[in-house]
Amino acid sequence: EKTRVGFAPEAYPPFWVADANGNWTGWEVEIIDAVCAEAKLDCERVPVAWEGIIPALLGGKIDMIMNSMRINDERRKVIDFSNKYYEVPTVVVAAKSATVDTTPESMDGKIIGVQVSTGQQAYAEKNFGANASEIRGYNTQDEVYQDLAAGRIDVAIDGVVAMNEFLKSASGAECCESKGVLKRDPSTLGEGYGVGLRKGDDALKAKINDAIAAIRKNGTYDAITKKYFDFDIYGGD
């Protein structure tokens, strides 16, 4: 029996990059392959729109989610998570000219863009909701960056890795810069990124946890990471 791994088919470099033939490459893609191989699972990647990905898991259309999903309390109410397989700080980015930092006061009158149903969105609403003039929700992170470059939003929030990728791109380099790292907030920003699982699917959870530990130990994880990053993305224990 196949294990269906749900992911949102959208560009999120360097974790998810599509080529024209519909092949996906990227750090997370390789980690999926490594985990599945280690756990001896016959995995199949199934594209599901991000906003429907948890319902799809609950409805049995997929068996697990590996899509840079933050492990946080809100989600824990409905689904289960494996141990984290990476963790990076979350940063605030804005136009170079903007005077913005990570404090609520600096968000006064700003339009903040976040991808919907993400930890960033939860964080922004909890901490900046009172100050920002608007928190605009996008269906994909890519669209957030588009509108940041277009100048339609003032501030974006995302994990530092994907954010750096954007800042390296032509449009990102031209317009924007990082304005600081958000403090750790497990209830929204979570405790790292993990595999989303149906509650009660403990056998699968055990397998995945073992596989993550195993590839960390046998060097596979580091080998993959080295191809994409010059630091340890696992982010400490």
Partner 1 sequence: MIWSPAAGSIALLTTGGWGSAMLVGLARSLTIALGAFGLGLLIGIAGALGKLSGGAVTRQALDLYTTIVRSVPELVLILIVYFAGADLINGILTALGQAKIDFNGAIAGIVVLGVVQGAYSTEVIRGAILSVPRGQIEAAQAYGMSSWLALRRITLPAMLPFALPGLSNLWLIAMKDTALLAVLGFGELTQVTRQAAGTTKAYFTFFFAAGCMYLLATMISNLLSRRLEARATRGMAHV
Partner 2 sequence: MSSAPDATACEARAGTRRRWLDAGTLTPVIAAILFGTYAALQMRWDWLETYYPLLLRGLGMTVLLVVVTSSLGMLLAIPIGLVQIVGPKWLALPARAFCTVIRGTPLLLQLWLLYYGLGSLFPQFPWIRDSALWPILRQAWPYAFLGLTLSYAAYEGEVFRGAFKGVPKGQLDAARAYGMSGLLMFRRIWLPQAFKRAMPTLAGETILQLKATPLVATITVIDVYSVAAQVRQQTYLTYEPLLLISAIYILMAVVITKVFAWLSGQGQDNTALSKS
**Which of residues 47 and 186 has its CB atom nearest to partner 1 in the complex?**
47
Q: How far is the CB of 224 from partner 2 (least distance, A)?
A: 30
Query: Nearest approach, Cβ of 4 to partner 1 (angstroms)?
Result: 8
Which listed option, partner 2, partner 1, none, makes contact with residue 169 (CB within 5 to 8 Å by class)? partner 1
Q: Does 25 bind partner 2 (CB under 8 A)?
A: no
Q: Which is nearer to partner 1, 154 or 165 (CB)?
A: 165
Tell whether residue 27 is a contact of partner 2 (CB under 8 A): no
Contact (CB, 8 A) for 46 and 6: yes
> Segment near partner 2 (CB under 8 A), from 32-40, 47-55, 158-166, 226-234?
47-55
Please state, in angstroms and as integers, the Cα–Cα distance from residue 150 to each residue in 4, 143, 146, following that order. Answer: 37, 10, 6
Is 10 a binding residue for partner 2 by CB under 8 A? The answer is no
Residue 67 sits at the vertex; the CA angle it makes with 65 and 73, to the nearest 5 degrees, is 70
Is-contact 68 28, C-beta < 8 A? yes
Q: Which residues bind partner 1 (CB under 8 A)?
A: 8-11, 17-22, 46-50, 52, 55, 59-61, 140, 142, 146, 169-171
Under rule CB under 8 A, residue 219 binds partner 2: no
Site string for partner 2, 181-210 (x = CB under 8 A): ------------------------------
36-56 as b/e: b if 16+ CB within 10 A = bebbebebebbebebeebbeb
Closer residue to partner 2 (CB): 103 or 133 = 133
DSSP character at residue 65: E
- Partner from partner 1, partner 2, none binding residue 54, C-beta < 5-8 Å depending on class: partner 2
DSSP lists the bridge partners of residue 4 as: 44
The candidate with the shortest Cα–Cα distance to 113, out of 92, 89, 87, 83, is: 92
Contacting residues for 121 by C-beta, under 8 A, at least 6 apart: 114, 115, 135, 137
Contact 35, 215 (CB under 8 A): yes
Q: Smallest distance from the beta carbon of 118 to partner 2, in angstroms?
A: 9
Nearer to partner 1, 132 or 149 (CB): 149
- Measure the CA–CA gap between 80 and 64, rounded to whole angstroms: 10
Amino acid at 72: N
Question: Among 124, 166, 169, which residue's Cα sits nearest to residue 144?
Answer: 166
List residues binding partner 2 (CB under 8 A): 51-52, 54-55, 58-59, 74, 77-79, 111, 116-117, 136-139, 143, 146-147, 149-153, 171, 174-175
